[in-house]
Amino acid sequence: MEKIIINKSYDDFSVSHEAFVRLRELGQQDALQEPDRGAYWAEAAGPREPSLNQCGKIIPRDDEKLIRVVEELREAVNGHAAQLKIVSIPDDVKWMIIKTDSGEQVSEAHRTWR
């Protein structure tokens, strides 16, 4: 089974500053490319500071290091207004994430014409 991270909240996907720092420690390339805005305001980078807890928005949702951090940090992984969850799907499924009014869902990719 393949694991994918989705956001069950109405707001955008993001990880907390704590999770972002852990991803950088693990060498996650997208996190290393993103500036660490919380590095200069470590005291203010607590979970209640929205501007410093909207990290990692471009990290692929099936990234092994992201999945590891979600499993390690549990609730502390959630960025501002995010509620991250691991979803397991069969390995051979082509998937995509669809945003709904109540959060995100993983759907099987298929062809669409307009």
More confident of the two residues 112 and 71: 71
Report the number of distinct structural domains present in the chain: 1
Does residue 113 belong to any structural domain of this protein?
no
Domain that holds residue 41: 2-108
β-pair partners for 97: 106
More confident of the two residues 24 and 100: 24
Does residue 31 belong to any structural domain of this protein?
yes
Does residue 86 belong to any structural domain of this protein?
yes
26 burial type by CB count under 10 A (0-12 exposed, 13-18 middle, 19+ buried): middle
pLDDT above 70 coverage of the chain, percent = 89
Residue type, 16: S
Question: What does the pLDDT read at residue 52?
Answer: 74
Give 24-42 pLDDT, tens digit per residue. 999 999 999 999 887 777 6
